[in-house]
Amino acid sequence: KAGVTQTPRYLIKTRGQQVTLSCSPISGHRSVSWYQQTPGQGLQFLFEYFSETQRNKGNFPGRFSGRQFSNSRSEMNVSTLELGDSALYLCASSLGQRGTQYFGPGTRLLVL
């Protein structure tokens, strides 16, 4: 069974732009969570989607948003990019809301 896939793998943007990242969960998984990883803050939870609804949200500004489609694929969007948004963005999927989370390879975002 294929793992979690994320596209693109690398992205360079400039301040003020917006970006959309995509995540395809493991087949059959319905819950998708997003995390931000930086050297300074480590891994931090952004939000979780299940059945196309945001179920949980971390402590990030409203510039960070997401959505989930009926096939469980998810996108996250960051608007008005700031230098501090440079990070590895990780997507994790699980069967249900109580299942083990399996991570994708991440999207490395660099904001210049």
Partner 1 sequence: GESVGLHLPTLSVQEGDNSIINCAYSNSASDYFIWYKQESGKGPQFIIDIRSNMDKRQGQRVTVLLNKTVKHLSLQIAATQPGDSAVYFCAENQTGRRALTFGSGTRLQVQP
28 binds partner 1 (CB under 8 A): no
Question: Minimum Å distance from CB 105 to partner 1?
Answer: 5
CB 66 within 8 A of CB 49: yes
Collapsed DSSP state (helix, strand, coil) of residue 85: helix
55 binds partner 1 (CB under 8 A): yes
**Beta strands in 25-73, from DSSP E residues, in sequence order:** 31-38, 42-50, 53-57, 64-68
From 12-20, 50-58, 62-70, 75-83, give the range in contact with partner 1 by CB under 8 A.
Answer: 50-58
Closest CA to 47 of 24, 28, 30, 64: 64
Among 21, 26, 35, 111, binds partner 1 (CB under 8 A): 35
Residues in the chain: 112
Residues in contact with partner 1 by CB under 8 A are 4, 31, 33, 35, 37, 39, 42-45, 48, 55-56, 58, 88, 90, 92, 97-98, 100-106, 108
